[in-house]
Structure 1
Amino acid sequence: MSKVKLTDYVVEFLQKKGIHDFFGYQGTMIAHLVDSIEKNPHARSHSSYHEQGAAFAACGYAQAKNACGCAYATSGPGAANLLSGVADAYFDSLPVIFITGQLNTYEYSGITGLRQQGFQEINMVSMAKPVTKYAVQVRDPKNIVRELNLAWQIANTGRKGPVLIDLPMNVQRGEVEDPAYDMEFSEEEIETAVYGKNDPENGAAFYRDAVAKADSSDGAEAAEYILDKIRTAKRPVFMIGHGASGEAEKMLTDLARAHHIPVITSVLARSALSFDDPLNFGCIGGAYGHRYANMIANVKSDLLLCFGISLCTRQIGTKVHEFAKNAEIIRVDIDPYNLQREIHEGREGEKCFCVSAETVVRKLTEQQAQIGSYEEWLAVCQKIRKELWKVDDETPQRYPNRMIAYLSDQLSDTGAVAVDVGQHMVWSYQSFHNQQGQKTLFSGGHGAMGYALPAAIGAYYATGKPVACICGDGAFQMNIQELQWVKRENIPVKMIVMNNEALGMIRHLQRDYFDCVYADTSDGSGFSSCDFTDVAQAYGIPAKRIQGEDVEKYAGGFLEQNGPELLEIMLEHGTYAYPKTCLGEPIHNQQPYIPKPIFDELMEL
């Protein structure tokens, strides 16, 4: 029998699966794993300066590569600091293996109710379970082969997501006999591991019942139903979400191109098409979506074909039953619980299929001769886009959008652009000119400030190309310490900090709903920002501060330099994100309102 040190096996296993970059922070209880990474010639460890940075880097890596990432941390506070990144991976369906160190098993007292078993011990499995597909502590070295293979399969199949393996220190230094790298588990074994025992009220049986309530199939039935509906439709639209990433996304956009079908995406799926693709009709958004996306989906289409998109209230507005009332909605999603969201009241004119988007789209591609061509409908959508684009371009408050559009042209050669959370996120998904193949990365469901800088670092190791991140002054301060990581590894990341010296999105809310009391959001009212240029230069990174009106004069030349750079753009305090749906309004009638003659004309098309 062959024997290998347990942590050597873990690293070798992940390396064989294609993971060569590991993100984390060293500590006593994870030192054996880090040592094994160091000694493996095909593995590289990248140390962050806060474990949250390591977790977000693994998320950015997984997003940019459309593949599994890995992050690690020591026990106690180190492991707990990973959790925001774990949650980000969970809500955005990112396959990431999280590995945490833990107290030696022989130090556990066995005393029920004892608050802590030893120094820096924390029940990480219990803490992580709500935001992982699978979380387990390995207490015996002989169990690692099964648990690691099982965790890998769980993370990378079905609706993808994070798993966490908690490794006590004495287990890490144990030995593995006959290591295996490609064990296969049945669908039933996976479901039982993920959802628990076959408890009819809370477990695998409950999950299977949820699948049955949708319409589980091999994709053929779903494809036939879609083909039948599309034959009679006059105005079909493909709506693509992150659940249709990878091959499904490519096949869908190819289908759309062949048959002149408009495409609308979620924010996370924004880079499915380049910004200037004739079929790209923007991001759906209940509050800040593209005007033309909202109008086309909500009131102009008669058939919405939704692939891997949640249709949550953030996308379609809080008045869910008012969305696309005159359109038939067909939803394809691998998550049966997501399909339990009822869009049309009583499911009237709504059909759900619990099956992977790729399976269905492959069937549609095979039978696409049955799909007609929709040039006239596409021309209507193009007119709507042209008119509403002009309305927005003439809105003075949207000058930050024009800055983003200019800056995006200067960043066109970057492999990925990570965008943080705040007003700049809205400006970016509305106006960034992404090129074909250029990834735009967001923290979607979790909406975590501090995401962009470490995510961009992870994206660099995923793509091997220069990257960029776009942040606000509030978001950038969340993980500003990772500037040392950028400097240490000379990572070619262009950092754009849009500094309005405020938490602009909350400030906008306070203006509208809190009588302009800007508590903890503005300079002099409990919030302030540093000079980011001075901070970056202190880390040894070239940096420049410019005024917003000087972007086109100075930004281009500065961003042409090699290596990491930080560009700080000073904005006025009272910046706003538009268009915005006012509370209670239909999502196709956003503020500032469309001039009535234009609105009436477009509604008649």
Structure 2
Amino acid sequence: MTQPTINVAADAVIAFLAQQGHTSLHNFPGGTIAPLLDACGRFGVKVYTSKNEQGAGYAAFAQAKISGLPGLVAVTSGPGVTNVLTPVCDAYYDSVPMLVFTGQVGVGDLRGDKPVRQYGFQEVDTPALMASITKAQFQPHTVEELVDALPKAWAIAVEGRPGPVSIDLPMSVQRSAYSQVISPIKAAVQSPDSDACYQFLDELNTAIKHATKPLIICGNGMATASRSQQLARIRQQWRAPISHSLLGVGVADSADSGTLGYHGHTGSQISGNAIADADLILVLGSRLDIRQTGTLRETFGPHAKIFRVDFDEGELSCSKIRHDAVLLCDLDNFLALWQTQPPMVSENHLDSWYQQIEAWREQYPWPYPHAYGLRPNTVVERLSDLFPANTIVTTGVGAHQHWVARHFRFALPNRRLFTSAGHGAMGFDLPTAIGAAIHAPDSCVLCFVGDGSFQMNIQELAMIRELNLNIKIVVVDNHRLALVSQFQLMNWDTDTACGHKQSPDFVTIAKGYGIDALHCGNGDDFDDISQQFANHNGPMLLHLELDERHDVLPMLLGGQAINKMWPFYDMQGQARELSDD
């Protein structure tokens, strides 16, 4: 097949991306990015146009998570740039590789050092805006600089701890004559320090032999199919229970008896107890931020030897939690080496530890009162049972996000959770689901979203109908911005900004976009309606109303130990009696 002719620099950019294996790009168009978009069709790169730059950015986020390549998003200058900043933040904080192409005025119209606010129409200082939320920023002023920058940008996005890279493209550069192929460069690969790895493993395996209450904490760095499978093989030798960060959910099957849930602010009291009682904690690819540890950091593993493996030196050198041994290493390399020297322990050496964990499961049930009607855990568990093994779940940010992470059954590589963790951005849900449906067409995509988060990017419903994407959307409507409402009521006894919200008729809105929809009120037959919803052929929205009194409980509050979560305990750490009403 004859390759298209490269005539201008924009052609060369798209040809480079196609050469690297990309067949699609996400965008919202505008004048200063038009040359790049024009080149896509001729080089076999399909253009997906969202309804807002934020939608395009989140679709590219999902593209990266599924393909393993950097997600591609292209937007115009000015408001295009400022609108895409939120998904770029998500990619940066949650370690997702992306190339963010932004249009820019011609080089001659750049403000530069001129003492004016703006020199060209829709001009913003894109590199400055992107500086704190990307791994690198490029603004080539010549074709030669672009040819040098593009392969570097690709390599930087994927090497080490992945993340987004910004490439700001002046119109004059995009339209400059150029006819050559841009050659890729290899991303830098950090070779593991073999001596350090072996020493760390010797210390770890020695600690394992003596540990009677071990725990593995899996973070975002472990959330790949290969690492999940490697860990599963190791746990055949050493069946230590696992607690997850929010982004580590699914590394071990949620239904595994050794899976404790995720720990921290809105996590599992069982995980919190295990962390407090453990005599050995192995942390794999997790930042251990304050949402995981709570404010009383000294209560996090107080009796444990803590071992950490991470690829980000900064996370280890600036650790919020003490540790006894650390290894700066790629997790694939570490797990591969560990499999050659697995821990040697007896088959039943952790029986008493598992008995204690099961006792905690009985002692600390999820506190969702029957008196408030349909319960959040019932909803999520029912849908988890109805949907197939190959389901990608996306969520917004709010109460529904935490209910899903707690109660949906996740298991890599087929059952995956895509959610906004470090940045915590409402509106993540629907456009990320669209990206997932585009780039994983053989998977079922289930989007859980709150009534507040849904309205951040509700316009992206149009893409679902345009592309006939098989996405199921559950709008969990409790008529409040519940998580912040709960926080306000707990601290100030008022929720004037967040409570008693009037929701629109989401069924009518969905139908207006050409999407079938169902409604389920608190007294309706959820079993029957959920069955119709799951069995529907094609996209569908379910507007599900829950009683607004269902809170996200338990919750780890400021000043509480990780094993003394409210409402099981009061602020003095005293046990409280709970009723089911």
User: Would you say same fold, with TM above 0.5?
Assistant: yes
Whole-angstrom CA distance in 1 between matches of 2:320 and 2:130? 31
* Aligned AA (1:112): K
SS at match of 1:440: strand
* Aligned AA (1:366): T
**496-505 or 550-559, which deviates more:** 550-559
CA drift of 1:544 comes to 1.2
Match of 2:503 among 514, 529, 532: 529
**417-426 or 397-406, which deviates more:** 397-406
Q: How does 1:432-443 map to 2 (within 5 A)?
A: 432-436=408-412, 437-443=414-420
**Preserved contact between residue 555 and residue 566 of structure 2 (Cα < 8 Å):** yes
* Aligned AA (2:531): G
1:470 and 2:448 equivalent?
yes
The aligned length equals 562
**Preserved contact between residue 99 and residue 157 of structure 2 (Cα < 8 Å):** yes
SS at match of 1:433: coil
Change (3 A) 1:16 1:372: farther
Q: Which runs of 5+ in 2 are unaligned?
A: 577-581
CA drift of 1:377 comes to 4.9
Match of 2:398 among 390, 401, 422: 422
**Preserved contact between residue 291 and residue 388 of structure 1 (Cα < 8 Å):** no
1:571 and 2:550 equivalent?
no
Whole-angstrom CA distance in 1 between matches of 2:67 and 2:352? 35
CA drift of 1:248 comes to 2.7
TM-score (norm 1): 0.87
- Partner of 1:400 in structure 2? 376
CA drift of 1:576 comes to 0.5
Match of 1:447 among 420, 424, 431: 424
Change (3 A) 1:549 1:224: farther
Offset from partner CA, 1:563-588 (integer Å, 9 cap, x none): 11100001222221111224322122
CA drift of 1:4 comes to 4.5
CA drift of 1:336 comes to 1.6
Q: How does 1:363-512 map to 2 (within 5 A)?
A: 363-368=337-342, 370=344, 373=347, 374-377=349-352, 379-380=354-355, 382-384=357-359, 386-388=361-363, 390=365, 392=367, 399-436=375-412, 437-464=414-441, 465-512=443-490
Q: Which runs of 5+ in 1 are unaligned?
A: 189-210, 601-605
Change (3 A) 1:83 1:554: same
Higher helix content, 1 or 2 = 1
* Aligned AA (2:49): S
SS at match of 2:567: coil
CA drift of 1:354 comes to 2.0
Whole-angstrom CA distance in 1 between matches of 2:331 and 2:483? 34
Match of 2:231 among 252, 257, 261: 252
Match of 2:259 among 258, 280, 291: 280
- Partner of 1:239 in structure 2? 217
CA drift of 1:261 comes to 1.7
SS at match of 2:41: helix
- Partner of 1:558 in structure 2? 533
1:127 and 2:132 equivalent?
no
Offset from partner CA, 1:235-259 (integer Å, 9 cap, x none): 2222111112323332123212332
**74-83 or 230-239, which deviates more:** 230-239
CA drift of 1:132 comes to 0.3
**Preserved contact between residue 208 and residue 343 of structure 2 (Cα < 8 Å):** no
- Partner of 2:579 in structure 1? none
- Partner of 1:202 in structure 2? none
1:297 and 2:300 equivalent?
no
SS at match of 2:32: helix
Whole-angstrom CA distance in 1 between matches of 2:334 and 2:300? 24
Match of 1:350 among 324, 340, 348: 324
CA drift of 1:453 comes to 0.4
**Preserved contact between residue 416 and residue 439 of structure 1 (Cα < 8 Å):** yes
Change (3 A) 1:160 1:435: closer
CA drift of 1:531 comes to 1.2
Whole-angstrom CA distance in 2 between matches of 1:407 and 1:185? 41
**246-255 or 388-397, which deviates more:** 388-397
Whole-angstrom CA distance in 1 between matches of 2:137 and 2:356? 46
Change (3 A) 1:18 1:89: same
- Partner of 1:197 in structure 2? none
**Preserved contact between residue 218 and residue 359 of structure 1 (Cα < 8 Å):** no
Whole-angstrom CA distance in 1 between matches of 2:369 and 2:198? 47
**Preserved contact between residue 155 and residue 161 of structure 1 (Cα < 8 Å):** yes
Change (3 A) 1:441 1:3: closer
* Aligned AA (2:514): G
**Preserved contact between residue 223 and residue 361 of structure 1 (Cα < 8 Å):** no
**Preserved contact between residue 469 and residue 494 of structure 1 (Cα < 8 Å):** yes
SS at match of 1:82: helix
Whole-angstrom CA distance in 1 between matches of 2:206 and 2:350? 20
- Partner of 2:291 in structure 1? 314
* Aligned AA (1:418): T
Match of 2:13 among 10, 24, 38: 10
Offset from partner CA, 1:146-180 (integer Å, 9 cap, x none): 21111111110111111110111121122445423
**Preserved contact between residue 257 and residue 279 of structure 1 (Cα < 8 Å):** no
CA drift of 1:137 comes to 0.6
Whole-angstrom CA distance in 1 between matches of 2:319 and 2:389? 42
**504-513 or 227-236, which deviates more:** 227-236
**Preserved contact between residue 77 and residue 103 of structure 2 (Cα < 8 Å):** yes
**Preserved contact between residue 62 and residue 462 of structure 1 (Cα < 8 Å):** no
Whole-angstrom CA distance in 2 between matches of 1:99 and 1:478? 23
**449-458 or 248-257, which deviates more:** 248-257
Match of 1:173 among 169, 175, 183: 175
1:266 and 2:242 equivalent?
no
Whole-angstrom CA distance in 1 between matches of 2:62 and 2:250? 14
Aligned-pair identity (%) = 29
Offset from partner CA, 1:494-524 (integer Å, 9 cap, x none): 0000111110111111221112x2212123x
SS at match of 2:518: strand
CA drift of 1:530 comes to 1.3
**Preserved contact between residue 231 and residue 372 of structure 1 (Cα < 8 Å):** no
CA drift of 1:554 comes to 1.3
CA drift of 1:370 comes to 4.1
Change (3 A) 1:448 1:528: same
1:25 and 2:28 equivalent?
yes
Whole-angstrom CA distance in 2 between matches of 1:388 and 1:4? 70
SS at match of 1:540: coil
**Preserved contact between residue 391 and residue 594 of structure 1 (Cα < 8 Å):** no
Whole-angstrom CA distance in 2 between matches of 1:376 and 1:59? 42
**Preserved contact between residue 142 and residue 176 of structure 1 (Cα < 8 Å):** no
Whole-angstrom CA distance in 2 between matches of 1:400 and 1:185? 45
Whole-angstrom CA distance in 1 between matches of 2:197 and 2:72? 32
Match of 1:340 among 301, 310, 317: 317
TM-score (norm 2): 0.91
**Preserved contact between residue 19 and residue 69 of structure 1 (Cα < 8 Å):** no
**551-560 or 244-253, which deviates more:** 244-253
Whole-angstrom CA distance in 2 between matches of 1:547 and 1:63? 35
Whole-angstrom CA distance in 1 between matches of 2:430 and 2:194? 40
**264-273 or 55-64, which deviates more:** 55-64
Offset from partner CA, 1:354-395 (integer Å, 9 cap, x none): 222222222111111645544425533551454246465777
**56-65 or 437-446, which deviates more:** 56-65
CA drift of 1:216 comes to 10
* Aligned AA (1:28): G
Offset from partner CA, 1:4-23 (integer Å, 9 cap, x none): 53222222222232322211
Whole-angstrom CA distance in 2 between matches of 1:549 and 1:78? 44
* Aligned AA (1:528): Q
CA drift of 1:185 comes to 6.2
